[in-house]
Amino acid sequence: MLTIDGEARPGASTYPVHNPARPAEIVGDAPAAGPEQLDAAVQAARRALTGWRALHVAERVAAVTAAATRAAEQLGARDGARLYTREHGKVLSEARFEIDTAPVLASLLGSMAEAALAPEHIDPQQAYPRLHREPYGVAALVLPFNWPLALAITKLSSALVAGNTAVVKVPPTCPLAALQLGEAFAAALPPGVVNVLAGPGSELAQALVTHPGVDVISLTGGVATGRAVMAAASSRLTPVLLELGGNDAAIIGPDLQITDELVERLVTATYTTGGQVCMAIKRLYAPAARVEELADAVLARCQREVVGDGLADETTLGPLHTAAGRDRVQALTTDARARGATVRAAGRIREADADSGGYFVLPTVVTGLAPDAALAAQEQFGPVLPIFGYQSIDDAVDAANATDFGLTASVWTGDDALADSVAARLVAGTVSVNCHGMAAQDPRLPFGGVGQSGLGRELGVDGIRAFTQPRAFVRQPAPR
C-alpha cells in the first residue's frame, strides 16, 4: 500500500515485483501511484508543513528518531529482511544490517541537527546581523535500488529535522520492503509529514520532480537519471541535490606488501552488494611489478565466494539486481577481452541456483586493460575489478584523476607523508587512507561528489543544511 496523509491507500493499479535470483518468481504486487495519488501526497505534505516546521528542532529530532526505531522494529517483526532479499537479491545478512542501522543513522543525524540549524550571529554580542537556516518546504526524495532502506532513513532524517515534510518515491524494482518501512515511519509522525509512493518505470519520478508543490529534490541514482531530473527541475528552478555515480580509484602505495589483510579489505570495498555500490572501488592502481601478484591474491580470496540466492546460508554474494545490470557488466568484460585484456573470474554459482535464470555474475579481475577502455572510463556497477600498473606514484594520481567522476578515492600506504601527499591531490568528495567504500563512510561527515558524481551533500551537518535555505536578518536604528 501507498502511504498518503497518514493512511494506507491503494495505487491506481498494481505491477509485479520479481526475484532477481529466479526472475520467473513474483515476490509480490506493488501499488502504482497515478496522478491522483501523487497530487494527494504532495498536498498532504504541504498541509502538514506549517505545523511540522513550527516545532522546535529538538522536538523534530525526537520524533524522527522514534519513527526510525519504530520502523526498524516493525520491519524486523514482519521478517522484512527476507522480503527485501527476495525482491532485491542482496544477501540476508546485508538486508538485516540495513534495517538494523535505521535507528542509529537517525539518532546520529539528529544529534547534529541543533548545531546545524542554530542561528549564526555575525557579532556574538549583537542580535543583528544574523543568519537563519529555514526549510525549503516539501521535499521530493527519490531512492535508488541498491541501498534504498538506508537512503530512505538518511534522506528523511536530514530533511525532516530541518523542518521539511516529504514525499518519498521508492525504487520501482524493489519497492515492497521500502513501502513497509515508510508506512511504519510515517505512522509515528503527524499525518502528511511523510508520504510514500511507488510506481514502475520512470514516469512517477518525472511527475514528482516536476510537480508544482515540490520545493526541493533529493535523488540518489545514475548520472543519466540525475541529468534528466536536473533538466526537469529547471523549468521551475527547483533546487536539486544529486548523489550520482562514481568511478572510484584506489591507489596501493609502493611500500605495502600484498597481505591477506590488505586483500580482504580490498575485496570488501569492491564486491559488497555485488559491486552495486556507488562508492565501491572501480579502478585499482598498484606498482607495475606487483599487478599480477595482487590480481592473483584477489582471485584466490574470491575463490571462497558463492554467488546465488541471497536467502541461502552458503551464499556470500547475491545476483545483480536487474537483467540490464548483468548485461551491462558482461558487455564491459567482453569488450575488455576483445581489446586484449585478461579477464578472470573466481568463486562459484550455488549449485541449486545454476538453472534458475538468476542475474548472477562471478567476482572478476581484469588486468592489461587499456586506459581508454569502456570498463576503465565508465562505472561498471558490478563485481568486476580492473587493476592497472603504474611506474610512479605521480602517474597513479594522474590516472586516478583522469575521470569525469569524483565521488570517493583512496590511497593505501603505511607512509604518512605519502598518504598526506596523495590524499591532497586526489579529486573526490571523500578521500580516504587505508579504507574505501562502506568502511570509509563516516555519517558525521558530508558525503557527495564532484563533477559527474553530483551536486550537494548528504550526511553530517552539511547534509542537514542542504535541505535548508539561508535567510539573513539585518537591522539599523529607527529614524528620528
Task: Kindly list the catalytic residues.
Answer: 243
Give residue for cell 526549510: 135
Closest CA to 270 of 440, 18, 58, 80: 440
DSSP state of 51: H
Task: Find the radius of gyration of the CA atoms of the chain.
Answer: 23
The answer to whether 15 and 125 are in contact (CB under 8 A) is no
Q: Look at residue 349 and give its three-state secondary structure.
A: strand
CA distance 226 to 243: 8
Helix, strand, or coil (residue 14): strand
What values do phi and psi take at 27, rounded to 5? -75, -35
Burial class (CB in 10 A: 0-12, 13-18, 19+), 476: exposed
Cα-flanking dihedrals φ and ψ of residue 415, to 5°?
-95, 110
CA-CA-CA-CA dihedral for 360, 363, 367, 370, to nearest 10:
40
Closest CA to 57 of 133, 121, 143: 133
CA dihedral sign of residues 265, 275, 307, 144: positive
What stretch of H or E contains 64?
helix 57-77
DSSP code of residue 458: B
In this structure, the strands spanning 138-142 and 130-135 are unpaired
**Which residues share a beta bridge with 468?**
135
